Amino acid sequence: MNVRKWFLIASGAMLIISLCVIFPIEKKSEFVGDLVYTFITLGIAIFLGMYGLMGKKIINGLFLILSSIVISFVCWYIVFYNDFWGIVPAIYGGIPSGIISGLLFLIVDYKWIEGEDILRLFFKRLIVYSIILLIVSVIAAKGGDWMFNISQYFKTK
C-alpha cells in the first residue's frame, strides 16, 4: 500500500476520534477557547490529510493557505472595518475565514478545474477563490454564531 494512503487513513481516524471522542468530552464548557485538544487533533488531521492528498506539494498548499489568510485579513480590514481599531475584528474574522477559504479552494481545485491555457486557468481559479472567500466571509460576518443559536434553541425545547 502506498505511504500516502496510510496518511489518509490516519487522517480519517484522527478526525473520527477528534469529533466522536474528544469533542464530546470537552464540550462540557460553553467557551470555544476551552476546546484545545479538539482543535489540535483537527489541525493534525488536516495536515495529515493534506500530505496524503498532495504529497510533496504540501508546501504549495500551505503557502496557498497562508496567502489566503493574508488576503482574507486585508479584505476584512478594508471592507468591513476601515478604522484603526478595526484590526481586532479583522483578525478574529479574517484569519479563520482565510483558513476555511483556502482549504475549501484546495478541495475544489483538486479535481474540478482542469488544465487549459495558463491565463484562462488563472482567471477561473481567481473567480472560484473569490466566490468561496465571499461566501465564507459573509457567513462568518453575518451568521458567525449560528452554532450557539442552534444549541440554545434545542436547550429551550
pLDDT in tens, 94-153: 888 899 899 889 888 866 556 667 788 888 888 999 999 998 888 888 775 666 666 666
**Tens-digit pLDDT profile for residues 19-38:** 888 888 887 776 667 778 88
Q: Which residue, 125, 113, 7, is CA-closest to 64?
A: 125
All 3 cell numbers of residue 89? 475584528
Q: What is the pLDDT of residue 132?
A: 92
Q: Give the total number of structural domains in the chain.
A: 1
Is 121:115 a contact under the CB 8 Å cutoff?
A: yes
Question: How far is Cα 14 from Cα 33, in angstroms, rounded to an integer?
Answer: 20
Lowest mean pLDDT among 59-63, 84-88, 153-157: 153-157
Closest of 129, 57, 59, 142 to residue 100, by C-alpha: 129
Read off the pLDDT of residues 38-69 as tens digits, 9 standing for 90 and up: 888 988 998 898 888 888 888 888 898 999 99
Which residues, including other chains, have CB under 8 Å from residue 143's CB and lie 6 or more apart?
Answer: none
Find the domain containing 138 and state its range.
3-156
**pTM for the full predicted model:** 0.74
